[in-house]
Amino acid sequence: KMRLKSVAKIIEKITGDVHMFFMSDDDKTNIQAVGNIKRDATINRIATTKVNGKIKLYCHARYNSVHRVIEDEQQMPNVLVKVVDSSRISVELMKQEVELQPVSYVDINEEGKVKSPFNALIVGFSEVGLDALRFLYEFGAFVDKDSTWESVKRSPFHCDVIDKKMDELAGLFIANAPLIPVKCDFEKDDKKEGNAKEPLVTLHKWDAQGRDFAIYLRKALEDEHPLNYVVVATENDELNISIGVR
């Protein structure tokens, strides 16, 4: 709305680094805005003649191979782009808190081996949910109590993931993690060469406010080894709080 001419006039008057933030919830709009700034002739002229400081552009977008291009592509040495991925930051903060790591939710014997299963649930399989699953799968890998020096095996781990659009979202995860045993319970015929026998991850096409999820949740909490870790990560903040309270 300010137009690039107005932005250029402001930048010309600033000494030192210039920090500009493109932080809307729309990745495409942010990427486009950053691209416009980077390509603008006036901005580039200012960046070329700027002695004290750089023009730093912060772009809120998913940190993937496509969006990293705008970060890696440095047309002008004084114009820098940093992709800010809020979902990735959320999970990174979880990793830093010991009380939020899976190791805090299992029983460990005197040998440092794990003697209880780790069962998790993720509600919502968008960006935060996807990163949360990667985090739990990696940080939830423990040496089982029955392991020996000759035979080491992983302690029991399972994660259920639900999303009402799971049929659209599952493919990306399966393609990027082909070695993880995954079961898609919404598929009529699972032909994944044994993957469905002992899946570490089960993907469900359920609505968090629906009957199937309510039945599952009741059974999961009454089970001999109930859920001990739940991540609520839908794209609706109010729904997240509502599900968390329930």
Q: What is the per-residue pLDDT for 189?
A: 59
Q: What is the per-residue pLDDT for 191?
A: 52
Spell out the residues 6+ positions from residue 58 whose beta carbon is closer than 8 angstroms to its own.
19, 20, 21, 22, 23, 81, 82, 84
Q: What is the per-residue pLDDT for 235?
A: 85
Spell out the residues 6+ positions from residue 208 whose beta carbon is closer than 8 angstroms to its own.
123, 124, 162, 164, 234, 239, 243
CA neighbours closer than 13 Å in the CB half-sphere of residue 12:
11
Residues 79, 54 contacting (CB under 8 angstroms)? yes
Per-residue pLDDT of the chain (246 residues; tens, 9 = 90+): 557 778 888 888 888 888 999 999 898 999 999 988 888 888 888 888 877 788 899 999 988 777 888 888 776 778 889 999 988 898 999 999 999 999 999 999 999 999 999 999 999 998 889 999 999 999 999 999 999 989 999 999 999 999 999 999 999 889 888 889 999 988 765 554 444 458 999 999 999 999 999 999 999 888 888 899 999 999 888 999 999 998
Residue type, 185: D
How far apart CA 200 and CA 184 sit, in angstroms, is 11
Q: What is the per-residue pLDDT for 46?
A: 82
- Per-residue pLDDT tens for 105-131? 999 999 999 999 999 999 999 888 999
Both tokens of residue 130?
């996807």
Could you give the C-alpha distances from 105 to 53, 62, 117, 119, 238, in angstroms and in order? 48, 30, 9, 9, 27
Q: What is the per-residue pLDDT for 29?
A: 93
Residue matched to tokens 């609520």: 232
Sort 234 into a burial class: Cβ within 10 Å, 0-12 / 13-18 / 19+: buried
